């Protein structure tokens, strides 16, 4: 994102209440021009409500929404410079594809010739050239979605809103559409704002993600920051798979810190966390950041006279469960201290998964910069 990027959408202290329940609770965020922004969260977190307020289908109870510097209060959906791709696609079933895509232009009073030209352009943009005369019921779900996309893009909106754009597609098609949507956004240069509950979708497509929980923004960050540097337990847990241990901060200096977790032992970090000494904290550790090995195999490591390579954490335990997922195998391990931990291990060769089995004693180690200390 260039530094010159201007916020195209400014959401200022927006609250939306349905009765007593606040679906969106005092949210403020800026969406920059040209970015692929994603609202991520579990169902009921308020992400769709926020999107619908941008589109104008819901009105904020409090707060202000500005699009391109203009306050949207009192401006109905049909006069906002944004267009939306609906979860059900909402393609008009009684109109041909060309009539669907051309509908907005027709309403806007664009002449026949220009309309036809722009419809053709939009359809070729979503690889539906030649489908002009088809009826929606002769098309697959994926194709209908492209019609909905073309129908919105043809309006050249300042912002394109997408409500759960991939949820109705099967897994293979979804993966393909993730790439296509990113590519499309690159090509047209329009700001995309998408809503999803699927973290893969958010991580793979978005330039920035706002994770929402109970109507509030839990964290707003680029995908890799979200995954590697979650700012609270909710984000760590919601985005990806994670082990979370509760413990006390017993050492906190610039350059090193330690957390004592019951059932787990001490976890060392190679950086300070600037938390109050003795405070209750949580340590988040991703399953794929843990190396798994047979205790005997660690000889080379122990030759150095230590439990693990310099600066590594070490733990031992027994495998209590495993699930083979093809590319990786997931292990549930009971630590000697009593806590359970999940470890994932890539199957780098065909028989890798046979290396460990139930009740095997195993050693684990992980880098001192892998765990994330969370204060809330």
Contact residues for another protein (CB under 8 A)? 55, 57, 76-79, 82-84, 86-88, 90, 92-94, 103-104, 107-108, 148, 151-152, 155
246 vs 50: CA distance, rounded Å:
33
Residue number with CB closer to another protein (21 or 107): 107
Nearest distance, CB of residue 163 and another protein, angstroms: 9
Q: Which CB sits closer to another protein, 93 or 262?
A: 93
- Rg (the chain; Cα; Å): 25
Q: What are phi and psi of 300, to 5 degrees?
A: -55, -35
What are the CB-based long-range contacts (under 8 Å, 24+) for 325-331?
328/288, 329/353, 329/356, 330/287, 331/292, 331/356, 331/362
Q: How far is the CB of 80 from another protein (least distance, A)?
A: 8
CA distances from 81 to 13, 193, 199, 309 (A): 21, 13, 28, 57
Distance CA 362, CA 349 (A): 20
Cα–Cα distance list, 263 to 182, 317, 333 (Å): 44, 11, 12
In contact, 322 and 358? CB cutoff 8 Å: yes
Between 112 and 266, whose beta carbon lies closer to another protein? 112
Query: Please, which residue, 108 or 171, has the CB nearer to another protein?
Result: 108
Supply the minimum distance, in Å, between the C-beta of residue 321 and another protein: 43
Q: How far is the CB of 93 from another protein (least distance, A)?
A: 8
Which C-beta is closer to another protein: that of 78 or that of 349? 78
Enter the tokens of residue 166.
Answer: 């991939």
CB of 66 to another protein, least distance (A): 19
Query: Which CB sits closer to another protein, 82 or 328?
Result: 82
């Amino acid at each position: 994102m260039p530094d010159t990027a201007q916020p195209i959408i400014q959401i200022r202290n927006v609250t939306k209440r349905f009765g007593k329940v606040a679906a969106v609770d005092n949210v403020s965020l800026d969406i920059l021009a040209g970015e692929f922004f994603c609202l991520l969260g579990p169902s009921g977190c308020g992400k769709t409500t926020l999107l619908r307020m941008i589109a104008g289908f819901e009105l904020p109870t409090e707060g202000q929404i500005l699009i391109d510097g203009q306050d949207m209060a009192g401006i109905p959906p049909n006069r906002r410079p944004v267009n939306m791709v609906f979860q059900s696609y909402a393609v008009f079933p009684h109109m041909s594809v060309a009539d669907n895509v051309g509908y907005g232009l027709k309403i806007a009073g664009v002449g026949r010739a220009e309309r036809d030209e722009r419809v053709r352009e939009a359809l070729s943009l979503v690889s539906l050239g030649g489908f002009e005369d088809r009826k929606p019921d002769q098309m697959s779900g994926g194709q209908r979605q492209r019609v909905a996309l073309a129908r919105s893009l043809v309006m050249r909106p300042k912002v394109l809103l997408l409500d759960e754009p991939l949820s109705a597609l099967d897994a293979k098609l979804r993966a393909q559409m993730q790439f296509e949507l990113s590519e499309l956004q690159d090509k047209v240069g329009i700001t995309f704002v998408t809503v999803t509950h699927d973290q893969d979708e958010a991580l793979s497509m978005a330039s920035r993600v706002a994770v929402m929980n109970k109507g509030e923004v839990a964290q707003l960050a680029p995908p890799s920051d979200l995954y590697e540097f979650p700012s609270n337990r909710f984000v760590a847990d919601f985005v990806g798979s994670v082990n979370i241990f509760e413990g006390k901060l017993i050492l906190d200096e610039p350059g090193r810190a330690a957390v004592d977790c019951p059932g787990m032992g001490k976890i060392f970090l190679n950086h300070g966390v600037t938390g109050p000494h003795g405070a209750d904290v949580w340590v988040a550790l991703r399953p794929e950041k843990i190396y798994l090995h047979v205790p005997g195999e660690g000889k080379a490591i122990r030759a150095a006279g230590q439990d693990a390579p310099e600066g590594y954490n070490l733990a031992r335990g027994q495998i209590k469960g495993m699930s083979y997922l093809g590319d990786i195998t997931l292990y549930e391990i009971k630590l000697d201290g009593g806590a359970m931990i999940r470890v994932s291990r890539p199957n780098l060769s065909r028989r890798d998964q046979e290396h460990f089995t139930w009740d095997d004693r195993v050693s684990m180690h992980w880098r001192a910069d892998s765990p994330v200390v969370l204060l809330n």
